[in-house]
Amino acid sequence: MKCSKGHRLSCNYYPACPEPELTLGTTKHSDPGFLTILLQNQISGIQVLYRDQWVNIEPTPGALVINIGDLLQLVTNGKFVSNKHRAMANCSGPRISVACFLSGPVGEDKIYGPIKELISDENPARYREVILTEYLRKFLNTALDETLGLDYYKL
């Protein structure tokens, strides 16, 4: 499926914030690709939305954080669900993270849809097929706090 063919590396530097309660690092979002692999230093700052509550993901030395992305949710027809998360500002810092986004062959007009073997009468397709370049363009042109990208492709 060429899921790992296209990847992007993002290095983030979050300086210490004297009043972290007045801001966020990034707003709530899910990643558009298949997987995100995150390496972070030992300063807390990532939260995941779990049962309508924000949960801190405390750094563990030598550990990676793996986020399931929207495209993995789409091709598995919802068997794997992308996680909503955000980065928080804090007064201890700086916080540094390096993220590798696996998004498929970004420069190609590859079509992704639910894997046929996961579709049945009891489990019909929940998403329509998407052209990767159009899907990523839509994601990049939508603010993070607006409707999530995958919602546009639900059946």
Tens-place pLDDT, residues 38-66: 999 988 889 999 999 999 999 998 899 99
Give every CB contact of residue 60 below 8 A, 6+ residues apart in sequence. Answer: none
Largest Cα–Cα distance of the chain, in whole Å?
A: 55
Which regions in the chain score pLDDT beneath 70? 143-148
Count CB atoms within 10 A of the CB of residue 65.
17
> pLDDT at position 11, please?
93
> pLDDT at position 151, please?
82
Does pTM surpass 0.95? no
> pLDDT at position 147, please?
58
Q: For residues 27 and 131, what is the distance between their CA atoms, to the nearest angstrom? A: 26
Query: Phi, psi (5° rounding) for residue 87?
Result: -105, 135
Domain extent listing, the chain: 7-150
Contact status, residue 112 vs residue 130, Cβ threshold 8 Å: yes
> pLDDT at position 146, please?
59
Sign of CA dihedral 73, 78, 81, 82: positive
- State the distance between the two ends of the chain, measured CA to CA, in whole angstroms: 22
- Quote helix, strand, coil % in the chain, to nearest 5: 15, 30, 50
> pLDDT at position 75, please?
96
> pLDDT at position 123, please?
94
CATH number of 7-150: 2.60.120.330
